[in-house]
Structure 1
Amino acid sequence: MWAKIDHIMKVGRNNFNPPPQVESSVVRLVPKVPRPQISYEEWDGLLRICFVRKNKTLRSSFLGTTSVLDMLESNYRTWCAQNDVVLEDGPAEQGQDQNDMEVEEPVDEWQGFGDDAEDDVDMDEDGEDIPQFFKEERDRQASFRNKSNPHRKKKGKVAELVREKIRKVLEDDTELAEKRARLCAEGDFLTLLYAFNLEGIHFN
């Protein structure tokens, strides 16, 4: 970010005595003048999130990690307080908490037996009784879905707002949601940081 870097030449391991286990390179670093007018703390915070999982998509890095969402929600609350932005707090409206999950979970995940409304009756499509094994498996799956994570807190309105802002930046504003951090250029990250800041999302 702070310098222009050029690769000058490779230096083979046999140029050293004793030879190391790695190849070397000579590079030239020329400081940029004037220095880019961005916050180093913000830049560093953004890149830390992106490169924790450099081979994952940016969508997964931001929306698939609870700790990242919690941190960005806390930062957004702080920004709103500093800029006199009134937040509508409280629990999320009914029907919104389906977003309270990891992004990487398969959408078409098998839900077990007996998810349809008609499954309150222990009959199959031909009107025959369902074997006991399937009844037990259906009940076990329903119990698992209800108790799989009893400690997970319900998301509030602010959390849902922040999640939607992140989704908007990644999908609508920058269209970088499906890109992987290791394949992004410096300009992509600058665009991402600018778009997040416009939405009030900060990283320091």
Structure 2
Amino acid sequence: MPKAPVQKKCRVHREVSRVSTKAGVKGAKPAGATLAQGLVFNTDLGQHILKNPLVITAMLEKAGLKSTDTVLEVGPGTGNMTTKLLERVKRVVACEIDSRMVAELHKRFLSTALHSKLDIRIGDVLKAELPAFDVCVANLPYQISSPFVFKLLLHRPLFRCAVLMFQKEFAERLVAKPGDKLYCRLTANTQLLAKVDHLMKVGKNNFRPPPKVESSVVRIEPKNPVPDINFSEWDGLLRIIFVRKNKTLSAGFKQTSVLQTLEKNYKTWCSIQEKKIPEDFSIKEKIEDILVNGKFDKKRARQMDQDDILALLHAFNKEGIHFV
């Protein structure tokens, strides 16, 4: 799965019990906000309260839940969304890293009829093996947005859809089109594997205390059947062309580190194919020939759609140039 840069000071959205307007605001300590039940949320860790139940309801409606579904929920908090999920589906697998929140979940559901439908998993969801599920619903810690998206998209068996809340700019990257300012490697990777729709914006005032960023809810539906492509190869190419997405491809492929990697890969391929390499071989010239002959040399990554990128990958692979 592709690695993503860590985003500093990111915010975690948690669904918690509705509180009075004074809770977590008046007299709150810098390190956190205290709810009526005495639970302290550490704002230094990005813990904020989603106080608008209409947002939760809208997210569940957009998920198209069925009574037979198993739902994966990430960051259940004290269980407001969990409650509504349990009322609608067969089973909820709730992944939570904060042991205090786990205790609140147990306290909330232990003596109810819904408890038998709840499976609480404690730990880092990025390190855990995900179970089979039909739908994922989550208010994600923003710092895990990118790796979690790809963990989902590469998960098997395929799930039906995911309805996720992200930082607004991250959501806009997921749905960007070629030529858009925010169109990037994340965009191309996600849209190769899934259909992505922006559902709604969620303003700061829907949380207590308000985060520093706006949020958005996105629906991700994996493509079925899965595209017949080596994803590692595809992403290896994207890593190169999107480093300088506004430059021409010819400029991007002139970096020494890129040339060294591709030359090593090419020699490995030639060895496997028992193909002799000419003494005057130049990887730089070979790459330039491929780009010019395919009329890719003047193209820019920010303007290339999936078909363009697939054609470029095919042109390279045909000549023995690989990206893994």
Normalised to the residue count of structure 1, the TM-score between the two structures is 0.60
Alignment partner of 1:88 is 2:278? yes
Instruction: Quickly say closer, same or farther: Cα 1:19–1:189, change in 2 above 3 A.
Output: same
Residue 72 of structure 1 and its aligned partner are, at CA, apart by 0.8
1:180 counterpart residue number: 300
User: Is 2:270 aligned against 1:75?
Assistant: no
**What are the superposed Cα offsets for residues 1-58 of structure 1, whole Å, 9 maximum, x if unpaired?**
2211112222222222222222222111111111111112211211111122223221
Output aligned runs, 1:27-46, within 5 Å.
27-46=218-237
More strand by share: 2
Question: Which of the pair has the greater relative contact order for Cα pairs under 8 Å at 6+ separation?
Answer: 1
Distance in 2 between residues matched to 1:22 and 1:191, nearest whole Å: 38
1:160-186 Cα deviation digits (max 9, x unpaired):
2x323311332221x232232223222
CA-to-aligned-CA distance 1:118-167 (integer Å, 9 cap, x gap): xxxxxxxxxxxxxxxxxxxxxxxxxxxxxxxxxxxxxxx22x2x323311
Which contiguous aligned blocks of 4+ residues in structure 1 show a shift greater than 6 angstroms? none
CA-CA distance at 1:68 after TM superposition: 0.7
Which residues in structure 2 correspond to 1:2-13 (within 5 Å)?
2-13=193-204
How many residue pairs get matched? 133
Match among 187, 190, 201 for residue 310 of structure 2? 190
Corresponding residue of 1:133:
none
Matched, 1:26 2:217: yes
Q: Tell me the CA shift for residue 66 of structure 1.
A: 1.0
Amino acid at match of 1:67: S
1:13 and 1:187 map into 2 onto residues whose CA distance is 38
| Equivalent residue runs for 1:3-152 within 5 Å | 3-63=194-254, 65-89=255-279
The alignment-based identity, stated in percent, is 56
Q: 1:59 to 1:2 in 2, by over 3 A?
A: same
Structure 2 regions of 5+ residues with no counterpart? 1-191
Aligned counterpart, 2:154 = none
Residue by residue, what CA displacement relative to the aligned partner does 1:84-132 show, whole Å, maximum 9, x if unpaired?
Answer: 111122xxxxxxxxxxxxxxxxxxxxxxxxxxxxxxxxxxxxxxxxxxx
Q: 1:203 to 1:13 in 2, by over 3 A?
A: same
Give the counterpart of 2:289 among 158, 164, 168: 168
> Partners in 2 of 1:80 and 1:62 — Cα distance?
20
Unmatched 5+ residue regions in structure 1? 90-156
Bigger Rg over Cα: 1
Cα 1:183–1:14, aligned 2, differ >3 Å: closer, same or farther?
Answer: farther
Secondary structure of residue in 2 paired with 1:30: strand
- Aligned: 1:200 with 2:320: yes
